[in-house]
Amino acid sequence: MSAIAQWFQDCLPVSPEVIREMTNEPVPNHMKRWWFALGGTPAYLFVIQIITGILLAFYYETSTGSAYASVRYITEEAAFGWYLRSVHKWAATLMIAAVVLHQMRVYFTGAYRKPREINWIIGMFLLLCTLTLGFTGYSLVFEQLSFWGATVGANMADSVPVIGGFVKNLMLAGETYNSRTLSRFFVLHAAVLPVALIGLLVVHIMIIRLQGVTEFKFKDEDESKPKTFSFFPDHMYTELMLGLFLMILLSALATIFPASMGPEADPLTTPEVIKPEWFFYVVFRWLKLFPGTFAILSTGFVVFIMFTWPFIDAQIRKRTRFQEASVWIGIVGVLAIIALTMWEALVAH
Amino acid sequence: MADDSSHDDGPVQGRRGFLGQASNFAMAAGLVGGYGAFGAVAARYLYPARPDTGSWQFVADLARLGVGDSLRYQAPGGETVNITRRARDGVAEDFIALSSTCPHLGCQVHWEDANQRYFCPCHNGVFDSAGVGTAGPPGDAGQTLPRYPLRVDGNLLFIRVPTARLVADAASSGRVIDDDCASAPGHDPCLSPLARPPRDGELG
Amino acid sequence: MTLETKRWIIGAMGGLFLVSLVLVQWLETTRRAEEAGLRPASVSAPASSVACVDCHAQANPGIVDHWEGSTHAEKGVGCVECHTAESVEPDAFEHYGQSIATIVTPRDCSRCHVEESAEFEASHHSKAGNILASLDNFLAETVEGSREDFNPHSPTPGRSFDMVNGLASAQSGCQQCHGAKVALQSTDGSLITVDELAPDENGVPTNQAILASIVKDANGRPMFDTGTWPNTGIGRLNLDGSAGSCTACHSRHDFSPRRARQPENCGQCHLGPDHPQKEIYEESKHGIAYRDLKDDMNLNATDWVLGADYSAAPTCATCHMSGNLRNGGKITHDPGERISWTNRPPVSVAMDTDINHAIVKTDDPDERRALTVDSWEDKRNRMKDVCSHCHSPDYVNSFYAQYDDFVVLYNEKFAKPGQAIMAVLADTGTRSPTQFDEEIEWTWFYLWHHEGRRARHGASMMAPDYAHWHGMYEVAERFYMELIPQAREMADHAGGAARTEINRVINDILSRPEHVWFEEGAAEQSARIREEMERRYGQGGERDGNNF
């Protein structure tokens, strides 16, 4: 045994003590509260997405002629294909929900404030990456909504002044949806965006580790007890439980609400009711409320405000007496998002 | 890992020995069982959904083949099958259906009329007209060309061949290839208008 | 929560995850089993017909392809369900363990389509095969062909024919639309038809003795007389005593209602010189709208109710057969239900029909009332229901006034007089009882059977060119320039009392106000035309014989 251990030691000159030291960072006590685990949830779901995504890619074909048929093969013919596809779809939904909740938690607890501005911005990039993954993902099924969603998305980009046409052409590989468009979405969905997401995630977590998790103090905590607990194994057990809970939840969702297939994309017929995935309902409703260019630019403006919020918030706190202004603005923002989403969800057109 | 101190670790010491071990075991079993099953699902998903056991395909009326006659049949997968009639009893045993796939490493053999043999270009395998390997690797190993099962129903001959196709939307049933003039979609090869090379200017 | 508790919980949740995957596995297995049960082969043929489909998909892929796209296939109606035949039926034979027949008759269809078959049976369509005694049949069998086969009079190089089938024109012409009397070959060289078999009400032949003399091929299949099968004429006289063929309109093997809804389908028979309904429809506003708006016709709809499923344009079926909002979507397979004039005979007749759906012929008003079960007005009102989906009542009523006027004009000015002249020629023995052996018989046939029908059909379906130039213009020319001169010539030729009688009839007709212009002239009107031409074109039209 020791000979083999020695051999490993020689080949990989890393001592177990160092690894333990590196990973076993003390975790603040507030992390025992479940809603603080929302950062780990999307990361775990992302791993599931990578695994199921790789499995789906084994059978998926990127040609507009056979994409729909290959998804149908996965759904109807391949063993457990329906299950893996449904898990992929539901994990995507949960991932976006978890990212949004995580961001709300960070926002309302003010965890983005100095010195964590950069990590907030990286978090915003992660949010955009996740949403774009969702968008490209449902384009790949090549059903009616995939096609028209992509077409509408591209034409939305087109209405941005100056660079719109350029962005649209870049997105569709042409003026309109064509035979080269789908492989673009596939490469974005299966290679570019996941790699970007992993890179951003690494930086995101590294910065957390460098700065330490924001510590919160709750009134009911016993002052005499230590302020932290160890990551390993205690917090890891928590994460394992969370992971298994997600797996069970996903299996249940996949069996009760399996991913279905709409009619195949038909460039000649726009469906009567066309709706994007639920996480784009906000933008979709906004676009219906206001004329094109204004709607696009105002959406862009809101995203810009979100990116720079740590600095804006700092200025507000510095220059005015409204120290908790961010909470109220946040509540208004969240209510607006919920209202627009519900509105879009409840009406047919 | 059990001895990692934790601030709220406070079970009764006496229980800890046995139950602690048991909980370790339960956790390991749960993780292996759950994720292992997921792994098994993934593995099953990657394996072909259902084996291609082939299907019975119509070949021809029995009357089409006299004793000693043979015809070539193209299976849905594109493989050529040589079907020869040896007797006139009206049963499946009258016929043999030779696959054109070499038993050595799966290349396609072709019939050489001049040498009265099947020849495999990959490793110079040679088979006689009954499909028995006579030279090359199949001859050395005593292999023969595979035979497909045949069935006679009434006065019709059926063959069981694999139906998997290389191109997903190709035709789904096999067909008999006309020996003299292979009939295929498109132009009739029997009517080749330019048997001689075109003269200058003839094709513009 | 202690670490140990957490470990227990993780273990339990791992187990639960495992259980959930076992459930997934169970679902997967159930799904596979269901799939295997539902789809034994690549074709979802009903179990009874799997073997048929297996073989025929390769032998006759067209049949199977058509059937696979049909509603029958969707609902699990396979080959055997329709082709099944009991062994007592004369054309039944054993085919790989099933007793089947080649021809599927309305009786077979009526096993499921009860109402449709009953309506069809009552229709004039189903009686189209009863043309044996008609002029048309005489034309094809005798004038165009020969009742008896005869020897060729010189060889055909490259082919050898020892006999000419004199009925070929009737078989390829008349009977493909009207329907053949399906016949089996008998060992004594004669033919076995429904007449010989005398089937009972279940279609089973009462003359069982004759079954032994049916000629069978090597596989035991009864052999049809090639002149009578293939045939999908709408009034086919089938061996089981049923009349007609559903595939005349619902062509096999997809039996598409979509196809039956389109005018091209009716146009397979309703076209040509004697009843150009298809061409008339194409000239009409209805046909033009249809050609333009075909994409909006919703032809795939299940019920295809006018006003609910579509209203872009009417096809033949829309007006004559299909359901509409006002009649509660009721479809009829008897197109006569909405036709108020029959323009088929030389003189148009009002469509009062009796209990047997036959036209009431008597003149006596009381008797008519007593016999009539469904009057021409009932029929017209049904058609008006259709019209009123797009037209206001005034418009519809005024159209019918125009149509009635036209039919009555034709009847009174040309048809009845023509009939009278032909009658007197026959009564006086001037014209032989044999049809088509005298020029005037061709003239009269052209007048009512071709030109007269064209005119009336043109007026009935809003095609002015057919009403006038292809219609009444030619009727008039035929009447004045051929029928009258030929009749007078025959009278001269006959001489004596016959001559006097014939001329009396002709003169009676020509002295009526509507004909008086022909022999006494209409100088006043000619002058008016000349003046008008002068005014419009600066020259008198009539002088150079080019009025318009």
Angle at B93 between CA B90 and CA B99, to 5 degrees: 125
Query: Do residues A130 and A99 make contact, with C-beta atoms less than 8 angstroms apart?
Result: yes
Residue from C322, C135, C126, C342 nearest C233 by CA: C126
Instruction: Please tell me whether the peptide bond between B185 and the residue prior to it is cis, using omega within 30 degrees of 0.
Output: no
- Give the H/E segment covering residue A106: helix A81-108
Determine the Cα–Cα distance for residues C321 and C338; give it in Å rounded to an integer: 8
pLDDT value of position C408: 97
In a domain, A304, yes or no: no
In a domain, A143, yes or no: yes
Q: Does C33 touch chain B (CB under 8 A)?
A: no
The DSSP bridge partners found for residue C164 are: C150
- Give the H/E segment covering residue C288: helix C285-293
The DSSP bridge partners found for residue B61 are: B156
The type of residue at A210 is L
Q: How confident is the model at residue A197 (pLDDT cuts 50, 70, 90)?
A: very high
Query: Do residues A27 and A230 make contact, with C-beta atoms less than 8 angstroms apart?
Result: yes
Give the gap in angstroms from C-alpha B191 to the nearest C-alpha of chain A: 35
Strands C184-185 and B117-120, bridge-based pairing = unpaired
Residue at token pair 């004759």: C210
Q: Give the closest of B6, B30, B31 to A229, CB-based.
A: B6
Instruction: Please tell me whether the peptide bond between C113 and the residue prior to it is cis, using omega within 30 degrees of 0.
Output: no
Interhelix angle C416-427/C484-494, rounded to 10 degrees, is 20
The sheet with strand B125-127 has its strands ordered as: B110-112, B117-120, B125-127, B133-135
How confident is the model over B95-125, as pLDDT tens digits?
A: 889 888 888 888 888 888 788 888 888 899 9
Q: Does A81 touch chain B (CB under 8 A)?
A: yes
Query: Do residues C195 and C242 make contact, with C-beta atoms less than 8 angstroms apart?
Result: no
pLDDT value of position C43: 40
Determine the Cα–Cα distance for residues C338 and A349; give it in Å rounded to an integer: 43
> A126 or B158: whose pLDDT is higher?
A126
The rounded percent of chain A whose pLDDT value lies above 70 is 88
* DSSP letter (8 states) at residue C454: H
Residue of A nearest to C22 (CA): A251
Determine the Cα–Cα distance for residues B106 and B120; give it in Å rounded to an integer: 9
Instruction: Please tell me whether the peptide bond between A233 and the residue prior to it is cis, using omega within 30 degrees of 0.
Output: yes
Strands B117-120 and B125-127, bridge-based pairing = antiparallel
- Which token pair is B82? 């040589």
Residues of C in contact with B57 (CB under 8 A): 58
Q: Give the closest of A55, A66, A84 to B168, CB-based.
A: A66
The DSSP bridge partners found for residue C349 are: C342
- Which token pair is C49? 């017909």
CA distances from C32 to C38, C40, C310 (A): 10, 11, 41
Give the gap in angstroms from C-alpha C292 to the nearest C-alpha of chain A: 19
Q: Does A55 touch chain B (CB under 8 A)?
A: yes
Structure ipTM over 0.90, yes or no: no
Give me the residues of C, 7-66, that contact A with CB < 8 A: 7, 9-10, 13-14, 16-17, 20-21, 23-24, 27-28, 31-32
Give me the residues of B, 121-140, that contact C with CB < 8 A: none
How confident is the model over A85-119, as pLDDT tens digits?
A: 999 999 999 999 999 988 998 898 888 888 889 99
Contacts of C90 (CB under 8 A, 6+ apart): C184, C192, C197, C205, C210, C211, C214, C222, C239
Per-domain residue ranges of chain B: 20-49, 55-182
Range of the domain at A194: 28-209+229-270
- Which token pair is B81? 């099958």
pLDDT value of position C371: 93
Residue from C250, C227, C288 nearest C82 by CA: C250
Determine the Cα–Cα distance for residues A203 and A207; give it in Å rounded to an integer: 6
Give me the residues of B, 164-203, that contact C with CB < 8 A: 172-175
Rg of the Cα atoms in chain B: 30
Query: Do residues C293 and C285 make contact, with C-beta atoms less than 8 angstroms apart?
Result: no
Query: Do residues B173 and B56 make contact, with C-beta atoms less than 8 angstroms apart?
Result: no
CA distances from C445 to C415, C418, C440, C491 (A): 11, 10, 8, 19
Determine the Cα–Cα distance for residues C113 and C331; give it in Å rounded to an integer: 13
Residues of B in contact with A230 (CB under 8 A): 4, 6
Residue from B53, A115, B44 nearest C21 by CA: B44
pLDDT value of position C375: 94
The type of residue at C539 is Q
Query: Do residues A46 and A95 make contact, with C-beta atoms less than 8 angstroms apart?
Result: yes
Residue at token pair 């066309």: A274
* DSSP letter (8 states) at residue C261: T
Query: Do residues C509 and C414 make contact, with C-beta atoms less than 8 angstroms apart?
Result: no
Distance of CA B83 to the CA centre of its chain: 18
Q: How confident is the model at residue A226 (pLDDT cuts 50, 70, 90)?
A: low
Mean pLDDT, residues B2-10:
43
Determine the Cα–Cα distance for residues A247 and A249; give it in Å rounded to an integer: 5
> For residues C181-213, b (16+ Cβ closer than 10 Å) or e, as one string?
bbbbbbeeeebbbbebbebeeebebeeeebbee
pLDDT value of position B189: 43
CATH number for B55-182 (one of 1.10.3430.10, 3.40.1670.10, 3.40.50.620, 2.102.10.10): it is 2.102.10.10
The DSSP bridge partners found for residue C214 are: C186
pLDDT value at A326 more than 70: yes
Residue of B nearest to A80 (CA): B45
Residue from B92, B91, B57 nearest B77 by CA: B57
How confident is the model over B40-87, as pLDDT tens digits?
A: 999 999 988 766 777 777 787 787 788 878 888 888 777 788 888 888
CATH number, domain containing residue A148: 1.20.810.10
Determine the Cα–Cα distance for residues C36 and A158; give it in Å rounded to an integer: 49
pLDDT value at B131 more than 50: yes
- Which token pair is A116? 């964590």
* DSSP letter (8 states) at residue C247: G
Q: How confident is the model at residue A11 (pLDDT cuts 50, 70, 90)?
A: confident
Interhelix angle C3-38/A236-256, rounded to 10 degrees, is 20
Structural domain count, chain A: 1
In a domain, A215, yes or no: no
Determine the Cα–Cα distance for residues A190 and A181; give it in Å rounded to an integer: 14
pLDDT value at A179 more than 50: yes
In a domain, A172, yes or no: yes
Q: Give the closest of A69, A79, A226 to B45, CB-based.
A: A79
Q: Give the closest of A51, A66, A77 to B49, CB-based.
A: A77
Residues of B in contact with C21 (CB under 8 A): 34, 37-38, 41
Instruction: Judge residue A43's burial from the number of C-beta atoms within 10 Å of its C-beta, 0-12 exposed, 13-18 middle, 19 or more buried.
Output: middle
Residue at token pair 């295997």: C36
The type of residue at A171 is M
Between the CA atoms of C433, C438, C439 and C444, what dihedral angle is there, to the nearest 10 degrees? 0
Between the CA atoms of C514, C518, C519 and C521, what dihedral angle is there, to the nearest 10 degrees? 90
pLDDT value of position A118: 92
- Which token pair is C73? 């296939």
**In whole numbers, what is the pLDDT of chain A averaged over residues?**
86
Residues of chain C with pLDDT under 70: 1, 34-45, 132-133, 539-548
Three-state DSSP at C168 gives helix
Residue from A99, A57, A33, A72 nearest A238 by CA: A33
The DSSP bridge partners found for residue B70 are: B84
How confident is the model over A269-289, as pLDDT tens digits?
A: 888 777 888 888 888 888 888
The type of residue at A135 is F
pLDDT value at A206 more than 50: yes
Determine the Cα–Cα distance for residues C354 and C350; give it in Å rounded to an integer: 12
Mutate to test the interface with C, among B1, B16, B18, B23 (most CBs of C within 10 A): B23
Strands B117-120 and B110-112, bridge-based pairing = antiparallel
pLDDT value at A77 more than 50: yes
User: Partners for A (CB, 8 Å, 3+ pairs)?
Assistant: B, C
> B189 or B23: whose pLDDT is higher?
B23
pLDDT value at B185 more than 60: no
Backbone φ, ψ for residue C547 (5° rounding) = -70, -35
* DSSP letter (8 states) at residue C45: -
> A235 or C65: whose pLDDT is higher?
C65
> B123 or B187: whose pLDDT is higher?
B123
Strands B70-74 and A228-230, bridge-based pairing = unpaired
Residue at token pair 């219906």: A288
Q: Does A63 touch chain B (CB under 8 A)?
A: no
In a domain, A252, yes or no: yes
Determine the Cα–Cα distance for residues C12 and C3; give it in Å rounded to an integer: 14
